[in-house]
A = this chain, B = another copy of it.
Amino acid sequence: MTNPAPEPAYVAVDWGTSSFRLWLIGKDGSIIAERRSGEGMTTAARTGFAAVLANHLAAVAAPEGLPVLVCGMAGAKQGWVEAGYIDTPAALADIPAAAVRIPGVAADIRILPGLAQRDAAAPDVMRGEETQLLGAAATLGDDDHLVCMPGTHSKWVRLSGGKVLGFSTFMTGELFEAIAKNTILSHAIAEAGAISGETPAFRAAVARMVANPALATSQLFSVRAGSLIAGLSPEDAKARLSGTLIGLEIAGALSLVAEGTPVSLVVSGALGALYSEALAAAGLSPSIIDADTAVRNGLAAGAKALWSL
């Protein structure tokens, strides 16, 4: 005799710029079904958000009218319905209540807000990461914490007592792509494969940035010069570019917290190994939290707060 299938309770959706992920969650909290696709905000803005969601709900046979909780770029101005921002300092527990309901549909579909830092010297925004933070809150506890969330736009968040005090977005991933493709460094790294964080050139580049971040754009040129006069291999050149940008990000984040503040890394996939090595090269030993689990836990916390599910 097999266990009966759990009864569906709600649908959780992480709707990013270029990716869509949906989970059908049971009343016991289990994952009944999962969908992943490339229909992120950019695609859905053309094909229609409602239609994309309806297709995936049908694919997992979600019962009509099941509540849906969405986080991420679907709530941006260019998204489905603008879900606004909560301003920092922001209590993570306040996020669910600020969700915005999609108007004109029978089902209860809500999008969680992002966070905004309205600081003239360092204005900043996030959308999606706040839900990961909400999901990681129980693990992180109430102590002061620096949370690193790597990506195209890496976020470093200063947490204390369940509140986001402030955060900084570093354009690391996007700069890596723009520099690798559109500058003179492209010649030096053209033939390189994937970067390994274990490459000494990567770790050395991180350490140099932590020691003197002001030399960042000179270290970038050294990728070209090293290739010209020092026989720097394409692999080491690419590792040096990556290590310089990631090391600069680490140096910047550390400059905003007290020395010794515990660091956590919320990450999934290949970036996890790379950032673990980078943080080690900077002398840090972060605790690691899986980003996929964190976003699901955050949506679960939201669903519980909104619908007592």
Within 8 A of B (CB), among A137-189: 153, 168-172, 174-175, 177-179, 181-184
A217-B249 contact given A169-B225, A178-B182, A226-B123, CB 8 Å threshold: yes
Q: In the complex this chain forms, how many copies of it are found?
A: 2
A268 at the interface (CB under 8 A from B): no
Contact B169 A221 (CB under 8 A): yes
User: Cα distance A218–B218 when bound, in Å?
Assistant: 18
Q: Is the interface of A mostly helix, strand, loop or mixed?
A: helix
User: Cα distance A278–B85 when bound, in Å?
Assistant: 35
User: Cα distance A172–B225 when bound, in Å?
Assistant: 15
Contacts of A254 in B (CB 8 A): 214
A304 at the interface (CB under 8 A from B): no
Contacts of A177 in B (CB 8 A): 182
Contacts of A252 in B (CB 8 A): 212, 214-218
A303 at the interface (CB under 8 A from B): no
Contacts of A219 in B (CB 8 A): 122
Q: Shortest beta-carbon distance, A221 to chain B, in Å?
A: 4
Contact A218 B179 (CB under 8 A): no
Can you list, as one digit per residue, whether each of A275-287 has a CB less than 8 Å from chain B (1) or not (0)? Answer: 0000000000000
A85-B183 contact given A122-B222, A168-B215, A248-B216, CB 8 Å threshold: no
A105 at the interface (CB under 8 A from B): no
Q: Quick one: which of B117, B171, B217, B226 contacts A171, CB cutoff 8 A? A: B217
Contact A216 B213 (CB under 8 A): yes
User: Cα distance A65–B178 when bound, in Å?
Assistant: 47
User: Cα distance A249–B216 when bound, in Å?
Assistant: 8
A102 at the interface (CB under 8 A from B): no
User: Cα distance A269–B251 when bound, in Å?
Assistant: 35
Contacts of A226 in B (CB 8 A): 123
A55 at the interface (CB under 8 A from B): no
Contact A230 B171 (CB under 8 A): no
* Chain B minimum-CB-distance residue to A246: B217
The 8 closest A-B CB pairs, nearest first, are A213-B214, A214-B252, A214-B251, A168-B218, A169-B221, A178-B182, A123-B225, A123-B226
Q: A123-B229, A175-B217 are known contacts; what are 11 more A-B pairs with Cβ within 8 Å?
A: A122-B222, A123-B225, A153-B221, A171-B218, A175-B179, A178-B182, A213-B213, A214-B255, A215-B255, A216-B216, A217-B245
Residues of A within 8 A of B (CB): 77, 85, 116-118, 120-125, 153, 168-172, 174-175, 177-179, 181-184, 204, 208, 212-222, 225-226, 228-230, 232, 245, 248-249, 251-252, 254-256
